[in-house]
Each structure stands twice: as structure tokens, then as C-alpha cells.
């Protein structure tokens, strides 16, 4: 996990000032509010946050998979380095352009949370992997089938030839999630977005899937964005962690920095809220209140309404500037701002 080199050349993906809103009947809802992040070649970026924090929206925009009523702000920038070495500005692509279609699935792949509903029930597993392969590679049906069977084998599915002919309902949850990974990886993407990929699985299966993803990442050298609300999972897979709340990034750092030395009150609260086996019987610290509605976003730091360390007259006035605690560790909080100087 050495991350001393920090040149922008290593960055596969660079997102700047990303702002995404949705037009709804109640007005314009801002889901992601001016965030920056980058993903390095071969690294795993973990994004944590509660539901409604904008984790999924911010990453789905990399594939431009947002619904029609979404607006990506014109000053936003998503720079993606293609396999050819060329860098493209994803926000400027037309949604039906050939280039975007090549990138979707071909270079950026997505695994969803719900392995039950992410497959079509009326096609066989094999059929659905082949479909993806045929879309992106110049191969015959025969070759596509070989690739699909090989991929099923690689993700640890026994009897891949037989599974190839089965329908999604015939596989268990863990199997289906493996098959999903097989679809995503069959095109050898350079970036994999895993959106809560193990949330609905049993711990034993979850451990297997995490190990599988680690192995495949080593073999194929891809980068991963791993979205989850389980801090235990993220501590095990991520190199870097970003903590999101209500469309903003509140803290960012290496996994060790975030988990062992959390600085933002929200990160601290999240970590304290996890029941831990080494602290049995202690009372958990819940975060008071609920996430505010994105329709009435608080002015200033989005977390101030629930924060124990709120400084009135400061936190509720403007969003704090980033404070760099180390090369990799950045926090957005007034409590730490003065130490910057």
C-alpha cells in the first residue's frame, strides 16, 4: 500500500467539481455537490456513507447511467484515461455516442448490489455473458461462448459448462454474484465500480467474493471503486477511503488514516456506531437525528445539524475549506482548520 508517488499520470480517473442534480416535482434536488476524487491505476478507492449520501449517483455518472431528469453541472469534469492512452472528458460525450458505448462495459464495468434483479430472468447466464462479450469484442458466437465459460470458471463457479446453460433462478445468491462479476470482468475493464456488491450476501460468501475480487484485481491490474456502508468490508479491501455525506466528501485518506485516525466528527461517529466483537456489551453511539432531506440541505457544513462538536455561527454559515493533514489525508471541518497554518 505504498502511495508515496502522487503524479497525476497514474490517475485512471479524475473527477473534478462534480455536481449532479435532479429535476423533481418538488424542485431541484442536488444529490452530489461539487466533489473531487481520483482513482489510481490498480488501486481500490472505497466510498462510504449512509443511504442518500450520493455514493451511487456520483459513481454511476462515470458511466453516464443517470436517469433522464438528472443534470450534470457544466463546470463538472470527469476525465477518464482510455485503454488507448487517450484521455476523454466523459461529461462532454453524447449519451448515445459510440465512444460512450465502448467505454460502458468495455472499459468501465459495474456490479450491482442485488444479484437477484440484475440479471434478466428469461435468458440463461451464459447468454447474458455472451451478449456483453459480443457487444464489445470482435469474436464469433463460438469464441464468445468459450470466453464466457472460461470466465465462469475463473470466478470459481463449479461446472461452468453446465451453469452456462442455467437460468439465474437456478443459482444461489453467492453464485449469482459471481456470475455478475464474470459478466463485468469478461471485457477486461480497466475500472470496476462495485456498488455494495456483498451487502445482501452471507458473511461466508462475502468473504469469498472479497477474496475473489482481490485476486482478480491482482491478475488483471484493474482499478476498483468500492461503494459500501460496511466499514469492516472497506477496511479490508480499500487502499484509500472517501467519506461522503449528503453529496459532499467530508474526509479522505488512506484506509489506515481513516479507520485508525479519523478526524471528522462524522467519520468518528460512523466508526463508533459499528458493533465490534472486541467491545461487547458497550453501548453503541448512535448519530442523533436523521440525514436531512436533500430538498432542504443545511447551509454550511452538511453535517452540522447532527454534529456534537458544532460551532454555532461558523459551521452553519459556510462549508469548511479542505485541511491537508498529510499528503493523503484531507478533512473538511472547521475543528481542524486552524492547524493548517
Partner 1 sequence: MSDTLLEIKDLKVHFPIRNDSLFGGVENYVKAVDGVSFHIEKGETLGLVGESGSGKTTIGRSILRAIEPTGGKVTFNVDDESIDLSQLSDKEMRKFRKHLQLIFQDPYSSLNPRMTVRDIIAEPLVAQKLAKGKEVDERVQEAAALCKLNVEFLRRFPHAFSGGQRQRIGIARALVSNPQFIVCDESVSALDVSIQAEILNLLMDLQEKLGFTYLFIAHDLSVVAHISKRVAVMYLGQFVELAPTKSLFHAPKHPYTEALMSAIPEVNPDIAMTPVELKGEIPSPINPPSGCRFHTRCTYTQDICKIKEPVWKEVEPGHFASCHFVDTLNLQGVEMSSPAKSPLTGKN
Residue of 287, 311, 314, 319 that binds partner 1 (CB under 8 A):
287
**3-class state of residue 124 by DSSP:** coil
Q: For 334, list phi and psi in degrees, rounded to 5.
A: -65, -25
Minimum CB separation of residue 301 from partner 1 in Å reads 17
Residue of 79, 285, 305, 328 that binds partner 1 (CB under 8 A):
285
Residue of 211, 219, 321, 327 that binds partner 1 (CB under 8 A):
211
> Which range, of 77-85, 90-98, 182-190, 280-288, touches partner 1 by CB under 8 A?
280-288
d(CA 87, CA 273): 41
Contact set for partner 1, span 153-182 (CB under 8 A)? 158, 172-175
Cell numbers for 96, please give them: 448515445
- State which residue, 76 or 198, has the beta carbon closest to partner 1: 198
Residue showing cell 469492516: 232
d(CA 308, CA 305): 9
Cell numbers for 270, please give them: 460512523
- State which residue, 18 or 269, has the beta carbon closest to partner 1: 269
> Which range, of 16-24, 37-45, 114-122, 266-274, touches partner 1 by CB under 8 A?
266-274
Residue of 114, 268, 297, 328 that binds partner 1 (CB under 8 A):
268
Q: Is 280 in the site for partner 1 (CB under 8 A)?
A: yes
Q: Is 284 in the site for partner 1 (CB under 8 A)?
A: yes
Q: How many CB atoms lie within 10 A of CB 240?
A: 23
Q: Is 298 in the site for partner 1 (CB under 8 A)?
A: no
- State which residue, 28 or 273, has the beta carbon closest to partner 1: 273
Q: Is 297 in the site for partner 1 (CB under 8 A)?
A: no
Cell numbers for 85, please give them: 492512452
Q: Is 277 in the site for partner 1 (CB under 8 A)?
A: yes
Q: Is 256 in the site for partner 1 (CB under 8 A)?
A: yes
Three-state secondary structure readout of 215-266: HHHHHHCCEEEEEECCHHHHHHHCCEEEEEECCEEEEEEEHHHHHHCCCCHH
Beta bridge mates, 88: 80
Binding map of partner 1 across residues 14-53, x = CB under 8 A, - = no contact: ------------------------------------xx--
CA dihedral defined by 12, 55, 272, 301, rounded to 10 degrees? 100
d(CA 303, CA 306): 6
Q: How do beta strands 223-228 and 44-48 pair?
A: parallel
Minimum CB separation of residue 96 from partner 1 in Å reads 35
- State which residue, 136 or 248, has the beta carbon closest to partner 1: 248
Residue of 38, 124, 208, 305 that binds partner 1 (CB under 8 A):
208
8 A C-beta contact, residue 294 and residue 246: yes
d(CA 136, CA 106): 6
- Interface contacts to partner 1, rule CB under 8 A: 50-51, 158, 172-175, 202-208, 210-211, 229-233, 235-236, 255-256, 259-261, 268-281, 283-287, 290-291
Amino acid at each position: 500500500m505504498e502511495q508515496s508517488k502522487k503524479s497525476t499520470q497514474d490517475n485512471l480517473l479524475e473527477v473534478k467539481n462534480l455536481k449532479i442534480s435532479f429535476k423533481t416535482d418538488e424542485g431541484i434536488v442536488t444529490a452530489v455537490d461539487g466533489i473531487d476524487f481520483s482513482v489510481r491505476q490498480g488501486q481500490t478507492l472505497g466510498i462510504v456513507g449512509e443511504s442518500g449520501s450520493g455514493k451511487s449517483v456520483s459513481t454511476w455518472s462515470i458511466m453516464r447511467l443517470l436517469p433522464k431528469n438528472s443534470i450534470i453541472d457544466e463546470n463538472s469534469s470527469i476525465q477518464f484515461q482510455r485503454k488507448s492512452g487517450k484521455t476523454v472528458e466523459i461529461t462532454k460525450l453524447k449519451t448515445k455516442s459510440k465512444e460512450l458505448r465502448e467505454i460502458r462495459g468495455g472499459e468501465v464495468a459495474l456490479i450491482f448490489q442485488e444479484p437477484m434483479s440484475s440479471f434478466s430472468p428469461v435468458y440463461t447466464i451464459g447468454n447474458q455473458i455472451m451478449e456483453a462479450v459480443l457487444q464489445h469484442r470482435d469474436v464469433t458466437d463460438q469464441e464468445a461462448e468459450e470466453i464466457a465459460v472460461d470466465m465462469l470458471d475463473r470466478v470459481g463457479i463449479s461446472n461452468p459448462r453446465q451453469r452456462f446453460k442455467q437460468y439465474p433462478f437456478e443459482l444461489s445468491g453467492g453464485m449469482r454474484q459471481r456470475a455478475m462479476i464474470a459478466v463485468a470482468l469478461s471485457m477486461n475493464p480497466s475500472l470496476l465500480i462495485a456498488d455494495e456488491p456483498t451487502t445482501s450476501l452471507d458473511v461466508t460468501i462475502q468473504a469469498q467474493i472479497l477474496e475473489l475480487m482481490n485476486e482478480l484485481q491482482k491478475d488483471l491490474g484493474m482499478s476498483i471503486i468500492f461503494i459500501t456502508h460496511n466499514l469492516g468490508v472497506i477496511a479490508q479491501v480499500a487502499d484509500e477511503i472517501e467519506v461522503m455525506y449528503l453529496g459532499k466528501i467530508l474526509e479522505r485518506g488512506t484506509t489506515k488514516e481513516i479507520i485508525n485516525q479519523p478526524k471528522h466528527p462524522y467519520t468518528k461517529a460512523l466508526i463508533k456506531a459499528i458493533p465490534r466483537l472486541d467491545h461487547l456489551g458497550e453501548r453503541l453511539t448512535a448519530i442523533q437525528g436523521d440525514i436531512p432531506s436533500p430538498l432542504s440541505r443545511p447551509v454550511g457544513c452538511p453535517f452540522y445539524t447532527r454534529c456534537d462538536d458544532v460551532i454555532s455561527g461558523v459551521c452553519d454559515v459556510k462549508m469548511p475549506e479542505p485541511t491537508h493533514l498529510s499528503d493523503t489525508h484531507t478533512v473538511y471541518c472547521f475543528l481542524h482548520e486552524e492547524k493548517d497554518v
